[in-house]
Every structure is written in structure tokens, then in C-alpha cells.
Chain A
């Protein structure tokens, strides 16, 4: 996989030559201001649907294997 990555890396190195300091970056192609949502609640998903696809559950919660260290 490493050699394949190198090929792609070569292809994208050229980007840096074009990106001069005077060019503004574009994050979203269509210039929009964000739409703000009113603070009105909707009916949430029922717990059964929330948990339906979970690999492991207990007491209405998702089961995670042992967690080492807090963030």
C-alpha cells in the first residue's frame, strides 16, 4: 500500500505550487451563510430504534468494551 500512496502523493504535490499566499481558501463551493434552526424540539427516536442496530446493549444503553483512560 505504501508505494501506491507514494504515487498519489507525487500527483498531489503539484497543488502546493499553485497555492500562493494571495489566494483565499474555499471550504464550501457555494457561498452560503448558515441557516439557523429555531429552538423547538421534535419527537426523538424511540429507545428501541436507537438500540436496534447496536452490537451489544444492556439496561437501555450501548455496551462498550473496557475503556482505558479518560479523554
Chain B
């Protein structure tokens, strides 16, 4: 079963990879593309359907205005030609999850034509990915395979079909063949997908959660000996739904195809799928002439007319694009390249920006979101933004620290209580009686007590050995239930020793 693979470094030395990505982005409209059925995540099966999305006889599609506007926004972000006249066509094929047994998509007249996207790589290099089109289409339902192992299609005895997803609007972004990527092909694909994710989030047109299937990609890979050769036969790996999966798919396909070609073999034009468990692509269906979708203009839908005036109106509402925004914030926050990359990779940009807007310093906000809170999110296996803490709460904690009302230790405890849902930082400070003990008599007494209890430490401190200072601070902290300010304690100790 195991396929022959060539070492990656050797493969990219011997061959020039050409990749292509077909990215499906599920739009976050309130209703479906062709009917006003509601869309939500996790609804009971088959409860979000009208006669149209169930494909009942006699039902007819009517286009959702928001879906078209979302498509235009994405088209503008990808520098696409927005076509004044576009058309929906029927893509005919039988499959149990397709209520009409044809998909309504755009064929020769897509809403968004040619464009490009500049993506920034780890080292700051900018690579331009050419876009062929970004068209609108509707999604199919979902099959659950029963009777086989792990819900896999192989060996399943029957399937259960939930049509809730049928009719959800998708935009399929199709790149042109991406040439000149060389050994960085996987990295470029990953960076491109992340850039698309950031853009659709900035535009607020999709939840863009790959793990929930809001975004998925078909990955095409072919090899040729020399960049001047014609394109080689490509494989198409369907429905890859993680950034790492996409990078690994490309790596794997380059190694697999290189091994075959190196031995004088031929690449099959086939669809494959990425198997996360084995970290490999597996062969699927060989493409043949029988795959004829018999596209024709959907006679139930007349031409879609998008006026230049309407496009201008949407252009005026376009938010700042993620790359520009990152560069601007990096300057404003005075972060280094590496710091900024960490922020972006942690998906903390929005959260930090919001926290800073609410009064925190950029460094303070970053410290919380990338430190304590990232660890918490990782431990829980959730996204940072899904934690039970808001930028407001983080900004409040920072303000309490700045005002000297919390020290580091108490601040961490406060944040922990916020995460447990105990209320706002102020409420928690109040409820737990958190108070930084700094220059009052109680602190003086506590320090004296600690010094009296540790005469050996006092000797060392007097002798200029500052190492045991921690022991005194620890004792004071215990005595004050953590409310002492470490700096204040140190100051008092030094006074007492010198005095």
C-alpha cells in the first residue's frame, strides 16, 4: 500500500511543481443562496429546508441579494474583474446529497473574473497568486455513512442524509496554475489559504472556520522537469480542510509524483483525498470522459446584472484589507516582525486591537493574549476568541495593574476567575477582597515578622547576598494572602537592613 516517495529536497531539485487551489468559502448569510431557509450551525437534521432547498417538484430558485454582495466584496478584495452580467448554470450529476441532482453554479459567466492576491511569506517575501475566477454556487447536503469503520464511506452499509447544508451559499475561488513557487509551493499554498481566511473574516462574509467546514480546498499538483515545459498531468486532492493538511498534501504529492516520474512512470489524472491519520493522499476516482456535467444556463434564473454604480457603492464600504491593516498596526504598536507574526499566528490580532482600543498598552494586551490566555485556549482546545473573556476584561485588568490596584500575581488570579465566569475584574477584586498591600503598617509588620523568623537570611542580606530575598518576599506574600506588592516589600526589607 505504501507508495514510493522521493525525498522532498531531491524532488524539488529535479522537478518544477505547479499547483492550483480551488477554495470553497461558505458564506455567513442569514439564508440560503436560492431560498429563504435559515442557516445555523448544529441545527437538528432536515429542519432548515423550504420546498426549494429540498428540491421539491415545482420549486424555483431566487437569488439571495446578500450572497451576491458578499461575492462582490470578495471579488474586490481579490482584485477581480467584476462582470456586469453574470449567469448561473446547472451542473448535472446524480448524488444522494444533491436535492435536485444538479448544482446551480456559475460556468462561463462568473460574477468575478480574473484577479490576484499578494501573499506574504514567513520571511517577508511577497508572492503574487493569480486568480482565475471566484464564482457563486450552492452547497449540497451531508451524508453520514453507517455500518463501516469510523464513518468512512468504505465498507459502509448505508448512509443517512441531512439536507440542512443544501443550498448554503459558497464562493469557489479558483487560482490559475501557480508557477514559480519551487520548493516553497507548500508554504505559498498555506500562506494563500490563511490570507483568504483573513480576508473573508475582515469582510465579515464567512465564519471561515476550517474545522467546521466553512472553508475547504481542492488541491491540484503537477510536476514538470523544467519551467519551460508544458504542464504535467495533475492530481486533484479533494476537500482538504486544514492549513497543515493543504501544505502536507502538496509536499506529499510532489514527493509521490517525483518518485513515479523519476522512474519513467506516468501520473494518473485522478481525484485523491488527504488522509489525516496516515498523513498521505490516497487514490480515488480516475477522471474520464464520462465526467460530463452537461452545463447549461439555468432557465429558472435570468441574467444577474451588477451595475458599476453598485460595485462602486460596495467599494466605498470595503474595510481595510488584512495585510495593510497588519502593517499599519505593527507600526502603531511598535512591534517587531517576529512579534507581529506571533500575534497573527495566534489569531490574536483582532483581540489585541480591541483591547488596545479599550485602553490597554499594546505590550500589555499582547502579554495576556499570547501568554496566559493562549495557554488556556490550547489546554481547552478552543480558539482564543472562544474563551470566556473579553478584550474589555483584559483591558480592565491592565488598568487595575497600572493603577497599582493589582500586582502580577493577583492579576493572574483575577483573569482566572473571569475565565470561570465569576464576573468582571472589578467584581472579582471586590468579591475576593484583592488589594495590593504596599506602604501601610501591616506590610511593615509582616516584613519585620519575616525578618525575625529568618535571622540567617538577614545575615546574608546584610552581607550583600541578595539571593535569599525571595524567601522573605514569599513569607510576606503568605502572610498577606498574596496582596503584597513585591517591589514595596523589597524596598522595606532594604530599609530595615540598612537602618
Contacts and interface: CB of A to CB of B under 8 A. Distances in A.
**Contact between chain A and chain B defined by CB under 8 Å:** yes
B153 A70 contact: yes
A39 B305 CA distance: 18
A35 B64 CA distance: 9
Contacts of B285: 69
A40 B158 contact: no
A68 B303 CA distance: 36
B330 interface: no
Contacts of A50: 46-47, 49, 54, 163
A25 B220 CA distance: 34
Q: Report the interface size class on chain B.
A: 35 or more
A71 interface: yes
B123 interface: no
Contacts of B305: 33-34
B44 interface: yes
A35 B62 contact: yes
A15 to B, nearest CB: 16
A67 interface: yes
B470 interface: no
B36 A40 contact: yes
Interface stretch (A6-14, A16-24, A54-62): A54-62
Contacts of A51: 46
A61 B37 CA distance: 18
B314 to A, nearest CB: 14
A28 B302 CA distance: 7
A46 B297 CA distance: 32
Nearest to B156: A66
Contacts of A69: 153, 284-285
Contact of B301 (A34, A62, A65): A34
Contact of A47 (B44, B62, B299, B304): B44
B36 A41 contact: yes
Contacts of B162: 60-61
B78 to A, nearest CB: 22
B36 A37 contact: yes
Contact of B160 (A39, A40, A63, A66): A63
B96 to A, nearest CB: 4
A71 B143 CA distance: 12
A59 to B, nearest CB: 6
Given A32-B302, A37-B65, A70-B238, A45 B50 contact: yes
Interface in B50-78: 50-51, 54, 62-68
B50 A62 contact: no
A52 B412 CA distance: 56
Given A37-B62, A63-B159, A66-B157, A42 B37 contact: yes
Nearest to B48: A44
Contacts of A47: 44-47
A27 interface: yes
Given A47-B46, A66-B158, A67-B153, A61 B144 contact: yes
Given A40-B30, A69-B153, A61 B161 contact: yes
Contact of B145 (A40, A62, A67): A67
B38 interface: yes
Given A65-B158, A67-B145, A39 B37 contact: no
Q: Is the interface of A mostly helix, strand, loop or mixed?
A: loop
A1 interface: no
A39 B163 contact: no
B143 A67 contact: yes
B46 A60 contact: yes
A42 B37 CA distance: 6
A60 B54 CA distance: 14
B29 interface: yes
B49 A45 contact: yes
Given A40-B31, A45-B51, A64 B143 contact: yes
Contacts of B67: 39
B96 A44 contact: no
A5 interface: no
Given A39-B31, A67-B145, A59 B160 contact: yes
A62 B46 contact: yes
A58 B284 CA distance: 29
Interface in B249-292: 273, 284-285
Contact of A62 (B63, B64, B153, B161): B161
Given A34-B304, A40-B36, A64 B30 contact: no
Contacts of A60: 44-47, 162
A37 B95 CA distance: 28
A59 B45 contact: yes
A45 B54 contact: yes
Contacts of B299: 27-28
22 contacts: A27-B302, A27-B303, A34-B63, A34-B304, A35-B62, A36-B63, A37-B62, A37-B63, A39-B29, A41-B38, A41-B39, A44-B50, A45-B49, A58-B160, A60-B46, A61-B144, A63-B158, A64-B159, A65-B158, A65-B159, A67-B96, A67-B159
Q: Which 7 A-B pairs have the closest CB atoms?
A: A39-B66, A36-B65, A41-B38, A61-B160, A64-B96, A33-B305, A62-B161
Given A44-B50, A61-B160, 4 more contacts: A33-B302, A33-B305, A64-B96, A67-B145
